[in-house]
Chain A
Amino acid sequence: MSGSLSLLDITWWVTTAAELVLLAVLVWRKALRSYPFFTCYVISILLQSAGMSFLYRQANLNATMVWNIAWGTQAAITIMRSLVLVELTRKIFARYTGIWTLARRSILCVGLCVIVYALAFSRGHSQWVILNMIRGLELALAAVIVAILLFARYYRLPIPSVPRALAMGLCLYSVFYVIDYSLLERGFKGHAELWNFLGLLTFLASLLLWTAAFILHPVQEEETQATSVSPDAYGKLSAAVNLRLYLLNQQLNRIVNSGERRP
């Protein structure tokens, strides 16, 4: 047990160090302007780590109170993660107003459906209410990220490397949170340390993914990439496509009609 606890402690310190490194990279890359919510999210997880470390070292504090504070701050962090997701969605779809009009409805619908589903399955566990809510929200976050990536893939939209890495990291963490929590709640209550360890490892992997993305890929360059054609070329293309489609449509109609008349 003591071995497992010390391993947990080491992982916790490594994770905190990785958070600090990520924050330093964000400052170095001047990412605050491009990714304000993500920078705030990293600051908030650092503050949470520091706060929790302080609280857990106070011997005179009530354990239930510390538990409630810990999971209350986790709820706040999850809300921060949702804001990061909004930021990511804007980065991926901002240049494609037409697709964004469609995507936002579908993504909202996916998110709401998953939250309703998760909450419906979480009834009757009042002592785990915050955790259940967080699990529902994490599942919705993961589903929304996957929906965004599927949308982008369907329309062959180029996703810059940094938003892609952020989306993958957020999604993997959310999904593993759901897996960890589901196992903890139902069958592995006696293995809370193991659950914490696995959760930390997943988060550490996400932190490393994000740090590597911000180090390897310049933030500003990705934002200035143009994807649209000039209005003049666009007008010509549209007219030509219209004409060809009209002719194709006429041909198809003729074929279908002649086929119907055939004895």
Chain B
Amino acid sequence: MTHLIVMVFFLAIAFVLIGLLLWATRPPKRIPYPVQDIFELLSQQRHCMRLPFIQHALQPQDTAFLEESGKKALMREIRADRRRIALHYLDQLQQEFETLLEISRAMAVMAPEIAAVEEIERWKLSLVFAMNCAFQRWRLRLGLRPVSGFASISTMATGLVRHLESATASIAENALGG
């Protein structure tokens, strides 16, 4: 039985490696950003600026007066609409975060040096962001309040910006020094 388990373990790892190899050798979805594209991306309007409005719209107090005045059906409809908008907002926020990641990758490729700890921190940040985004999406679909989660997503975006800022500062120093 132990022999069988060992064999299965080795075979499982081998097949996982084949799968990863095939995935890793696929042509990339997007090409690296040229310098002018990075400028353009950074100048675009940011969705996280709309966070306070979305947070406010998702507060139950904002629509509770409709229930008190006997318009429960309207209240439900408005809340459903707002949840849909919030879901769309989450998609946009995730897209914006991914763009920031793309920019940071492009910067990393050009960077003469990268602080490994900072980079690993950014990996963790992006993983937690992706998980949190998925979690909030499900909360919204189930009709639960995602407000606290929204705040943490925003904090993550701020964290990524801080990492990027520190990386670009170091790159700029090196560029000026060279």
Given A102-B119, A228-B110, A231-B175, are A241 and B30 also a contact pair (CB < 8 Å)? no
Given A142-B17, A150-B20, are A245 and B112 also a contact pair (CB < 8 Å)? no
- Contact for A239 among B13, B25, B30, B172, CB less than 8 A: B172
A256 pairs with B158, CB closer than 8 A: yes
Name the B residues within 8 Å of A152 (CB-CB).
Answer: 24
Query: Is B92 in the interface zone, CB < 8 Å from A?
Result: no
Q: Which of A216-246 contact B (CB under 8 A)?
A: 227-229, 231, 233-235, 237-242, 244-246
Interface residue SS majority, chain A: helix
A185 pairs with B7, CB closer than 8 A: yes
B39 pairs with A149, CB closer than 8 A: no
- Nearest A residue (CB) for B18: A175
B31 pairs with A156, CB closer than 8 A: yes
Q: How far is the CA of A171 from the CA of B168 in the complex (A)?
A: 36
Q: How far is the CA of A249 from the CA of B159 in the complex (A)?
A: 9
Given A121-B9, A154-B105, are A237 and B35 also a contact pair (CB < 8 Å)? yes
Q: Which of A43-60 contact B (CB under 8 A)?
A: none
**Least CB distance, B147 to chain A, in whole angstroms:** 9
**Least CB distance, A44 to chain B, in whole angstroms:** 24
Interface contacts (Cβ under 8 Å), in number, total: 172
Query: Is A172 in the interface zone, CB < 8 Å from B?
Result: yes
Q: B45-73 toward A: CB 8 Å interface, digit per residue (1/0)?
A: 01011011001100000000000000000
Name the A residues within 8 Å of B175 (CB-CB).
Answer: 231, 234-235, 238
Given A186-B4, A235-B172, A238-B172, are A145 and B165 also a contact pair (CB < 8 Å)? no
Q: A166-180 toward B: CB 8 Å interface, digit per residue (1/0)?
A: 001001100110110
Name the A residues within 8 Å of B75 (CB-CB).
Answer: none
**Least CB distance, A167 to chain B, in whole angstroms:** 8
**Least CB distance, B99 to chain A, in whole angstroms:** 12
- Contact for B165 among A229, A231, A242, A260, CB less than 8 A: A242
**Least CB distance, A129 to chain B, in whole angstroms:** 15
- Contact for B35 among A164, A229, A253, CB less than 8 A: A229
- Nearest A residue (CB) for B154: A256
**Least CB distance, A91 to chain B, in whole angstroms:** 16
Q: Which of A80-132 contact B (CB under 8 A)?
A: 96-99, 101-102, 105, 114, 118, 121
Q: List 27 A-B contacts (CB under 8 A).
A: A97-B113, A101-B113, A102-B119, A114-B13, A139-B17, A143-B13, A155-B108, A156-B32, A156-B105, A168-B21, A171-B21, A175-B21, A182-B6, A186-B4, A186-B6, A233-B35, A237-B39, A238-B168, A238-B175, A239-B172, A240-B39, A241-B103, A242-B169, A244-B43, A245-B161, A249-B161, A256-B151
A→B interface (CB under 8 Å): 96-99, 101-102, 105, 114, 118, 121, 135, 139, 142-143, 145-146, 149-150, 152-157, 164, 168, 171-172, 175-176, 178-179, 182-183, 185-187, 227-229, 231, 233-235, 237-242, 244-246, 248-249, 251-253, 255-256, 258-260, 262
Given contacts A121-B10, A233-B35, list 17 more A-B pairs with CB under 8 A. A96-B109, A99-B108, A99-B111, A102-B120, A142-B14, A149-B21, A168-B25, A171-B17, A182-B7, A186-B4, A187-B7, A227-B109, A240-B39, A242-B168, A245-B164, A255-B48, A258-B52
